[in-house]
Structure 1
Amino acid sequence: MPTSAPQRRLSIGATYNLRDIGDYPVAGGLRTGWGLLFRSDATRFTATADLTALGLQTVIDLRDAAEVTTVPTGLDALVPTVRRRPLDSRSLLSAVSVDAPDPLGDLYATLLRQRGPQLAAIVADLARPGALPALVHCAAGKDRTGVVIALVLSAIGVTDDVVTADYALTSNYLTAGFFAALPAESGAVDPVNASLHNARPESMAAMLHVLAVEFGGARAYLARHGVPVEAIDHLRTALTQ
């Protein structure tokens, strides 16, 4: 755990978008704890004191094999458990019109509909006893990571407005220069199409609407795809300790 005052965005490694999801209100008067769950883009980490201070026990890497080879993070040597959970979003673009009013909202809804088992396995990883503190990351920490973190927060009782606000923070940190520097192998939605680089709260709100209307909410969605209710409750307890 960091010894300094908790901060939302962390300057560790060469990350643009490494954030702590602590101090968010949870139903029942609870709040998520600092230093328990982090979200990030991919970068090269070294055994710095700052990284060691995070005390990571688990890393969930949402990138595919080509991405991992192109940008190795070095976390395998620094964290007890690194799990590869490829969450392919770029292949789903064919089902989404980039000219639609909200292509990212459509993409995230498509991820929910077509990647249920993969998303459930990721949340189950985080719900394992001893899994926290944990880091979830992809290439940019925006789309794949955004959907996973939204599912987690929603499942433990964080309200939609807070979930969307957390997602939208990404727009403060990912610059045009960041996307221009992404390698061709990056699984980011589209490193060239600037219309897909934003992180508008409306896009996440659209996904959460589909989650509620089509699946009965995050808890029901995860249970439907094999995550025991007890595991979700354990994750809520672990994240609000």
Structure 2
Amino acid sequence: MTTSAPLRRLPVGATYNLRDVGGYPIGGAARTRWGRLFRSDAARFTADTDLAGLGLRTVIDLRDDVEVVALPTGLDAVVPTVVRRPLDPRALLGTLDDGSSDPLGELYVALIRERGPRLAEIVSDLAAPGALPALVHCAAGKDRTGVVIALVLSAIGVPDDVVATDYALTAEYLTAEFFASVHAESGATDSADETLRGARPESVTALLRVLADEYDGARAYLVGHGVPDEAIDRLHAALTD
């Protein structure tokens, strides 16, 4: 897709929440590159969409089997590599504190603590030579995708407040119509519970705080779960202007 100026949200396919994570500060004058990493909800893509204009080489689908069967995206017909990496947050929902003021923050922290090897596998997929441009998506592009994108951005040096702001943009795009359609079509965990539909920056900030306090940051977390330092360096270079 060629435009006179980069777009944050992309009107491609039947998506509500397809976004480019380019243009974010990393340090000094450096910024994340536009057109290299995208995040999205799930949608049906067909040959008459302009998805091909994104030049995707890799798609990472974080949904489980039930969701994939209920809503096939068709991406395998237009993207060279489509990888299934289900994160399975459903099993973690029962561990959340019923009285929590931030159940989403608790869920994201639980994903960090309980899904380390899978999260490292996903980041390794993105860091593989030739993997970019890439799209990461789940059902809503909010919870599972939000955790993965937060990890990637934080690991390459994007400041916490910017990572949280990127996450919170989801609240602008996921409408009541979206949640109704997801519930009807896929039963996705991302949006099945009314209390889990928000996207407040505090929720991803809670995740980033745990990464800093318990793992010495996102990069150390990923290295500790098996992502080589050189793979993160390669991802940093590929995502940096």
TM-score range, shorter chain: over 0.9
The residue that corresponds to 2:94 in the other structure is 94
Aligned residue type for 2:187: S
Contact 1:90 1:187 in 2 (8 A): no
The residue that corresponds to 2:133 in the other structure is 133
Contact 1:24 1:158 in 2 (8 A): yes
Matched, 1:233 2:222: no
How far the C-alpha of 1:90 sits from its partner, in A, is: 1.6
**Structure 1: gaps spanning 5 or more residues:** none
**Structure 1 100/184 Cα, relative in aligned 2: closer, same or farther at 3 Å?**
farther
User: After TM superposition, what 4+ stretches of structure 1 lie above 4 angstroms from structure 2?
Assistant: none
How far the C-alpha of 1:98 sits from its partner, in A, is: 4.1
Alignment of 1:75-154 (within 5 A): 75-154=75-154
The residue that corresponds to 2:190 in the other structure is 189
Kindly provide the CA deviation profile for residues 81-136 of structure 1, in whole angstroms up to 9, marking residues without a partner as x.
00000011121001102431100001100000000000000000000010000000
Kindly provide the CA deviation profile for residues 138-165 of structure 1, in whole angstroms up to 9, marking residues without a partner as x.
0000000000000000000000000000
Question: Residue 26 of structure 1: SS of its match in structure 2?
Answer: strand
In angstroms, what is the RMSD of aligned CA positions? 1.3
Contact 1:24 1:162 in 2 (8 A): yes
Alignment of 1:1-241 (within 5 A): 2-48=2-48, 50-182=50-182, 183=184, 185-191=186-192, 193-241=193-241
Contact 1:56 1:133 in 2 (8 A): yes
How far the C-alpha of 1:190 sits from its partner, in A, is: 4.4
Identity rate, percent: 67
Question: For the residues of structure 1 that align with 2:76 and 2:30, how far apart are their CA atoms?
Answer: 33
How far the C-alpha of 1:28 sits from its partner, in A, is: 4.1
Query: Bigger shift: 149-158 or 85-94?
Result: 85-94
Number of residue-to-residue matches in the alignment = 240
Aligned residue type for 1:187: A
Q: TM-score, normalised by structure 2?
A: 0.96
Question: For the residues of structure 1 that align with 2:39 and 2:134, how far apart are their CA atoms?
Answer: 9
**Structure 1 23/190 Cα, relative in aligned 2: closer, same or farther at 3 Å?**
closer
Kindly provide the CA deviation profile for residues 26-55 of structure 1, in whole angstroms up to 9, marking residues without a partner as x.
124310111000000000001235211100
Question: For the residues of structure 2 that align with 1:9 and 1:218, how far apart are their CA atoms?
Answer: 25
